[in-house]
Every structure is written in structure tokens, then in C-alpha cells.
Chain A
Amino acid sequence: MLSATLPLHKSDPLSEDPMKHHVLLGTLLTAALGLQAQGTVKIAITGPFTGGSAPMGASMRDGAKLAIAEINAAGGIQVGGKKMKIEAIERDDEAKNERGALIAQELASMGDLSGVIGTVNTGVCMSGDRYFQEKGLTKIITPAAGSASMTQWSKAGVKDLSIFRFAADDAIQSAMVVEEAMRRGYTKVGLLYDSTNYGVSGRDDLMNQIRMQGGKLQVVASEKFNIGDKDMTAQLLRCKIGGAQAVLIWGIGPELAAVANGMAKIGMKAPLIGGWTLSMSNFIDNAGKNGNGTLMPETFIEDPITPKAKAFIEAYHHTFNVGRIPSPVSAAQGYDAIYIFAAAVKQAKSTDTHKIKAALEDLKEPVKGVIATWHRPFSKWNPADERTHEAFHRQQVVMGMVMDGRVVFANPAEKAQLIKAAGK
């Protein structure tokens, strides 16, 4: 940020280092070249920190900052022969595509960034990520889940990609939603989705999954709603009359809450099952008790079941002075993404974004995160298979359920499995 223009007047965090001379010389040299002026690893964190998607954006940022603070408190990342601290650069894209594009251009032209972490909205990925890719700037997308933000690169047949994703993408999520409906023995479902890219592609994913999982679910109604709609009576009546035993849904917090409240009004008891946006605080708060029993795939649940999770949750509550993480999934993903990025910097022995990218594609050491222990989360990009740059697989995702203002484990078996895995 501003300090980048006045590098030499700031106290050098590495002055205790025995290799002081080299560092100083290096600092002077790079300052003269306008590169890595302060001997820090610069990581940009972007996302919507205000607006309807803010619970996800702000939690992701805060989770990431928690990880950065921990790493810096331990002296920083071991880069070659020296320890370097992480410097975070924050940008609020307000969930707006055009703002996201502007920020991406700004960050891509900085020249001394090691990488970018963030983005909540698939539309923002679609409008901004090409600027990172053009410069080969390494970016880890988290927590945007829309399939398109990765498939755009495989469709374009890009040979070398600097964009990675650290989120359970919609393909995994929709598979789990359909699986859950079938596991509960439902045969008839209603489908509701918002009219944005996210909602419409979510509907396509769900229809796809229903077909792929044997076509055992009959879709009795497929209805959409607009952002800002509050009266969902017509859409819900269609589901009710069709005899829907569950409503599969793809949308964002406030409208999801309107659906839950509308169901209570017309006395529909069927559960809502949908994307992880159903765990957003603006859904849970606005739906109140009408949200109870809602099911969604989650990568992290705010339940201190393992020592690592307990430490993370307590640190988050304490540092940001809250009793509940606004979006636990985003916070945990932001946290783990920083640790994975730091591991790549260490392995690359460099703050050069191209070398970090190469290291990310072949991480040798496992990274202990709060969601899981990550063994080689990414591999060499293959345009025929975007999974090479996706970290999450089905086994890292569990089913969550809203209960009295919180998200809890929906299936005790999954909880037990996580505890067991952490004990190993």
C-alpha cells in the first residue's frame, strides 16, 4: 500500500538476522529496482468486505489474517536462507464485477506481489482473473464456488495456468445435495434458484447430478426468483402442490431467508437443501427459527471437535471479538489457503510468483490446516481436467445443518470420521 513507496524509512523487521548485511544490500538493490522493497512476502487479499456477500468476504479475510499473524509471530516464512514476514494488501471488490476487474488490473500491475488470495463471487472471478493470468500472477480463489471460474480456463485450452482454487466447487456441492436428498429417501423435489449466473448454473449442476445419480429424483417444479424478491409464495406453492418432499435451492443469503420464511407461511415442512450459501449469517439471522433443519455442504463447521479446530475457533472469536464466525467455511478456507501459499513460498525459496506457482503445483510437504492435512492439493495444470488446480474433493466436505442460529454436523458419522482422521 502506501508504505511501498517509502520502503527505506520503515524499520527493517529483519535487523536481528545474522545475515543483516546481505539482506540490507538486497533490500537496497531491490528497492532500487522497485521490487520486494521491504523484504516481505506481499499477498493481496480481495473479496467483498461490504454488502450482501460480506459475511463470506470478511470471514475469509479475517481467517487469512489470522494465519498471517501466526506465521509472522513465528518469525515469518523461511525463504531460502532468511525468514520473511507476510504483508497483506486488502482490496474490497464489493461483489461488483467491474470493481473486481479494476482491482485485478491494479494488483497485476504492482510488480512485486507474490500472489493473490480471495474472491467470493464467481462473476468477479470471470471479470478479473484474466489480468492475473496474463501476468502469470499466482492466485488462489477462495471461497468462490461457481464452476465457471475454473472451467473458463479449460474451455479456453490454456496451457499454463496461474489460477488455483481452494473451495468445494459447485460440482461437488450439487452432487452432495442430490445424494443427501436420496439418502433421506425423498423421491420428489422442488428446484428453486436465483436468476444470477450462480443460481442458473447451480440449477444446471443439480439437474445434471440428478441424471448422473440414476434419475431417481422427480423434479416437480423448477422455479426462479430475482435478487431482492421477498414474496416467494407462487414458487413455493408450485413445489407444495407438486408434492415436493424437499426443496433444492441455489441462491444467496437474503433471498434464501425469504424462501424459508415463505415456507413457514404456507405451512411447508419440507427441508431446504442447497449450496453452502445456506450457512451465511444473513440467511441464518433473517430466517430465524424457520431456517432450522436446512442442509448444506460445508468444508468447515464451527464445532471444536479437534484441537486444531478448537484453537482456530477460539483465536477467531478472541481476535475479532465475535461469538460466532459470520461464515466459518470462508474463514477456515482463508486460513488454510494462506498456509498452503506459505508452504509454496518456502518450497520455491523465492517470492517470485512464477516460482511459487510451480511449487504450488507440486507441494512436497503436507500442510496442516484447520480443515484437513493437505497432501499435494494441486498438480500440474491440465487443460483437459480442471481438477488439477482444485484442492477440494468429496472427502473434505461434510453436510451441515442449521440449528438454532448455528450450523452443526448433519450426520454424526461424518463428525466421528473427522475426529478419527485428526487423531491419526
Chain B
Amino acid sequence: MNALIIGQLAVSGALMGLVYALIAYGFQLTYATSKSINFGQGELVMVSAFFSLTLLDHGVPYALMVPGGLAFGALLGLLVERTGVRLALEEKSEGWVLLTIILGLFFFSAAENIWGRDDRPFPTPLSENPVHVFGIDVTRMEISVAVGVFAIMGLIELFKRRTLLGKAFEAVSADRDAAELMGISATRTVMLSYGLSGAVAALAGILVSPITTVGPTMASAMILKAFSVAVVAGLDSGFGVVLIGMFLGALEGLASFYIGSGWREAPGLVLLILALAVRPTGVFGKAGIRKV
């Protein structure tokens, strides 16, 4: 019985943790190429979810809504790059921090005005009946989260390793100046990374909405956890965010059961402090030497 409880808590938590991992992966994509991240990533998740819901409301079939939502997310990512990041990077300033936060606030207000402040249910083609796996109950929505997260991360990693464009992506990540000398446009690569990051955010929104409902504040709790995951895992390892995301999610579930539901967030924060103190580059991060 006890093992089953631990299993149930760990699995439920880990599946939610995969959503944190997916959002954290969005940070990684842009950090790799430009050493910048979008602090308004949570708002991209939320706005894309609202957009996808609007598509469904207008009778767009589910199978077409997903690519539509992803394309919309990618467009938003590009918008963030163009308006919030590119100029700051050209100036070699840290202005993107503030600019991406401001863009996030802008998206938030826009969503409130366009779609209102209410939480709305997000339809799903999946049955609501849970599936029993070795005595553990899992909903089909949770399974779809896992499938979606692994699928998109697998695809992007394959793309980076197998295609010419992907190799350019890796080259800029490794050394921006050297890549530019080889004739790779760093600006375009950064654009690509923001586009991908936006699409990843949109997917996170589409996957998690049937579980959390859609509302302007839907991502505010998740985004903080995604930051923790990104920091603890390090901003270099896609494999790392998945592992840490699942670990953090499971830890939350176990903590709220064994310590008390008021302490749900505590272990994650302790983990964050420990990681920053012991391994500031992240558990899976590369400790690089910074030449001055």
C-alpha cells in the first residue's frame, strides 16, 4: 500500500513536472544561441492556449488546431525576438531582461482584454476515464503531456543534430563569433531559436490546458517552477531539464503528502538554493571558463 502511494504521488507529480520541463526547455533554446531568455515565456504559454481555444471555438478541428497554435506561438516568439531582444543584443546590453518582462505584461493585459479574466475549460478529444498502470491511476491527459513533451523535444534535438540548419544552430550556440566567420547568420539563428521557443511554449499551453483550464493567470505558478527547473538543471542540457522537472514534480507531490499540503513548494525552493550554492551552473550545466 505504502509503495503504491509513493508511486502514485511520484508519477502524478512527475507528469506535471514534465510541463515545467517543457517551459524550461523553451528558456534553453534561446539561451543556447543568444545567451538571453524570454522572461515572458509564461505569457506565451497562456496567450497561445487562448488562441488555440479560440480556434476550437470557431470550429477548427483538433488536428488542425495543434499546428495552428504552434505556428501562432512561433510567431509570438519571433515578435519577442524582434521587439525585445534583437536591439538589446546588438547593443550588447542586458536590456532584454526588462523588455521581455514588459512584453509579457503586455501580452497579459491583451489577453485580459480580449478573452476576459475567467478560467475556461479546454476541450480534449481524450476520454476522462483514468488508466490503471500497475495499480497507479493516470489520466489520459497526463499521458498526452508526457507523449507531447518527449515528441517535441526529440524532434528539436534531432533537427539540431541531423539538419544543416540545426548544425548552424549548434554552431552559433558553441561560438557565435566563429560561426559568423563561417558565414552563418547569427541573427537568423537567434530568430529561429525564438521561433522554436515560442512553438514549445504553445505546445505546453495546449497540453496542460485540459488539466489546468485556460485563464490569464494559468502560467504564473508554472513559470516560477520552470525557472527553478532551468536553474537547477542548468541552461545547457535538454536531458537535464526533463530529469529535474520530473524530480521536482514528484518531490512536490511527496512533500505535500508527507510533510503537509502547506509545504508543497518548500523542497523545490530548498533544492534551488542548494543548487545555486553548490553548483551555480546547474547540475547538468557545463562549468565553462569565461575569458575576460
Contacts and interface: CB of A to CB of B under 8 A. Distances in A.
Interface of A: 50-52, 54, 94, 195, 223-226, 228-231, 233-235, 237-238, 241, 253-254, 257, 261, 264-267, 282, 285-286, 288-290
B211 A224 contact: no
Interface stretch (B63-71, B74-82, B255-263): B255-263
26 contacts: A52-B117, A52-B119, A94-B117, A195-B262, A223-B260, A224-B261, A224-B262, A229-B264, A230-B211, A234-B9, A234-B253, A234-B257, A237-B9, A238-B257, A254-B213, A261-B128, A264-B128, A264-B130, A265-B139, A266-B130, A266-B137, A267-B130, A267-B137, A282-B119, A285-B120, A288-B121
Contact of A54 (B8, B13, B118, B257): B118
Given A51-B118, A233-B13, A234-B257, A241 B128 contact: no
Is the contact region of chain A dominated by helix, strand, or loop, or is it mixed? helix
Given A234-B261, A235-B256, A288-B121, 14 more contacts: A50-B117, A52-B118, A223-B260, A224-B262, A225-B261, A228-B217, A231-B12, A231-B252, A234-B254, A237-B5, A265-B138, A266-B130, A267-B130, A285-B121
A51 to B, nearest CB: 5
Nearest to B210: A261
Interface of B: 1, 5, 8-9, 12-13, 16, 116-121, 128, 130, 137-139, 211-213, 215, 217, 220-221, 252-254, 256-257, 260-262, 264
A288 B12 CA distance: 21
Contacts of B253: 231, 233-234
Contact of B9 (A223, A233, A257, A289): A233
A94 B256 CA distance: 31
Contact of B213 (A224, A266, A286, A289): A286
B183 to A, nearest CB: 48
Contacts, number: 82
A55 to B, nearest CB: 8
A231 B261 CA distance: 11
B137 A231 contact: no
Nearest to B129: A264
Nearest to B136: A266
A164 B213 CA distance: 36
A199 to B, nearest CB: 12
A205 to B, nearest CB: 19
Contacts of A286: 119, 121, 213
Interface centre among A228, A234, A267, A286 (most CB of B within 10 A): A234
Contacts of A267: 130, 137
A230 B264 CA distance: 12
B8 A266 contact: yes
